[in-house]
Structure 1
Amino acid sequence: MAKTQTRRTDTRQRIQDVALELFLDSGYDQTSLREIAERLEVTKAALYYHFKTKEDIVVALVERLTAPMDDLIAWAETQPRTAETRMEMLGRLTDALVDAEQIIRFMQENQAALRALSVGESFKTRMHAMSGLLSDDDAGLVDRIRAIGALFTVYFGTFASREFPEPPEEKRAALLQVAGELLSAGDVLPASDAVARA
């Protein structure tokens, strides 16, 4: 990569990082491009060179989360629908989420704003695709809900578990254990028994 391209990439990354800090501190709607430029100590024109709107910045931020998700979906679509594949999917997802905790937090805290942006819908589409890959094509309702529960255990658990004092690897292992237990519950307890005991 040429030095100019590297510098441009570094600048775009810095803009995203600073914007994310402000979005988390003040909220997406309350943060202006002017405030982002001031925090960066650049002119608005310099900021516009990289991002024309706040939505452009959010798209770039969410792409940092969704690009590995796209890779995971593409990989999973080529694999057999086995328990091992499903656990590998969840493990790869937790790896992808490790560096995205702040982006996940931003998305959680600004759901209303994201609902109006294109990235909100595309993110939901990816989550739907992943939950579908965590169950068989002919899975019943209970198994499909288990798949969604396992996916959200990993996704939301990554965000929520930051409050826990345990080391990151221990938290990751716990999330995978709970997600795996959700997926395999149908193998241990028939759905009719589960409903009867609920």
Structure 2
Amino acid sequence: MGTPHSRRGNTRQRIQDVALGLFSERGYEKTSLREIAEKLEVTKAALYYHFKTKEDIVISLSQDLCGPIDELIAWAGTQPRTLATKQEVIRRYSESLRASEPFFRFMQENQAAVRDLAIGDSFKERMHALFGLLREPEAELTDQVRCITALFSMHAGMFALQDVEGDPEEKRKAILEVATELVTAANPPNRRPVRPDSAQTASP
């Protein structure tokens, strides 16, 4: 996905960027398609050509911005379930969050609205998939809590540190360090790795 500057030449992407900014600023429910069109300085008819509803805009944002997360889940599913793989999952997820920060900020600030949109369920499915890649089914409950906390600490940290002074990249690295520590503590390095095809090749 391109940066906000590189996206400006594409009308569809400009609509997404402006709508996302208004959703975050005013709230999803309080923002109308008319206001989005006015901000863009286009007619409602021009806006309708690309998106018929606000939900269409949000769904398109989810598909575009969550693509890297879907790619990460697909990649991790082909890797051995080693500690190194899980640490790499956390690192790549951190990169995905950085690239999609405005969208995740919108989701955080409009949780009630998101629950009623189609993207709510798809986001939950992605979180369940990532959690499944980090945890071991036979692990103690405390270790499973560490894994799910690692994911949510990355979300919470992104918003909690907004008002804390410091370089954004340094803050992201600090959040990643904490999340990695949690995953590492939950997955001892001496645990025997399980290959993704082991369930199919195991003897009955």
TM-score of the two chains, using structure 2 as the length reference: 0.83
Aligned counterpart, 1:193 = none
CA 1:102 to 1:8, structure 2 compared with 1: closer, same or farther past 3 Å?
closer
Q: For 1:42 and 1:133, how far apart are their aligned partners in 2?
A: 45
CA 1:65 to 1:157, structure 2 compared with 1: closer, same or farther past 3 Å?
farther
Q: Which is bigger in relative contact order (C-alpha 8 A, separation at least 6)?
A: 2
Return the letter of the residue paired with 1:143.
D
Q: What SS is found at the alignment partner of 1:114?
A: helix
Aligned counterpart, 2:68 = 68
Q: For 1:8 and 1:48, how far apart are their aligned partners in 2?
A: 18
Moved more, 149-158 or 68-77: 149-158
Percent identity for Structure 1 against Structure 2 = 59
Q: For 1:100 and 1:160, how far apart are their aligned partners in 2?
A: 16
- Per-residue CA shift, 1:136-194, capped at 9, x if unaligned? 24333222211101111123322332323222332222112111221233468xxxxxx
Return the letter of the residue paired with 1:107.
M
Aligned counterpart, 1:180 = 180
Q: What SS is found at the alignment partner of 1:177?
A: helix
Return the letter of the residue paired with 1:180.
T
Report how far residue 11 of structure 1 moved. 0.5
Q: What SS is found at the alignment partner of 2:66?
A: helix
Give unmatched runs, 5+ long, in structure 1: 1-6, 189-198
Report how far residue 8 of structure 1 moved. 11
Report how far residue 9 of structure 1 moved. 7.8
Superposition pairs for residues 19-34 of structure 1, below 5 Å? 19-34=19-34
Return the letter of the residue paired with 1:116.
D
Give unmatched runs, 5+ long, in structure 2: 1-6, 189-204
Report how far residue 129 of structure 1 moved. 0.4
CA 1:8 to 1:47, structure 2 compared with 1: closer, same or farther past 3 Å?
farther
Q: For 1:179 and 1:70, how far apart are their aligned partners in 2?
A: 20
Q: For 2:70 and 2:42, how far apart are their aligned partners in 1?
A: 34
Report how far residue 38 of structure 1 moved. 1.0
Aligned counterpart, 1:88 = 88
Structure holding more helix per residue: 1
Native 8 Å contact 1:90 1:154 kept in 2 = no
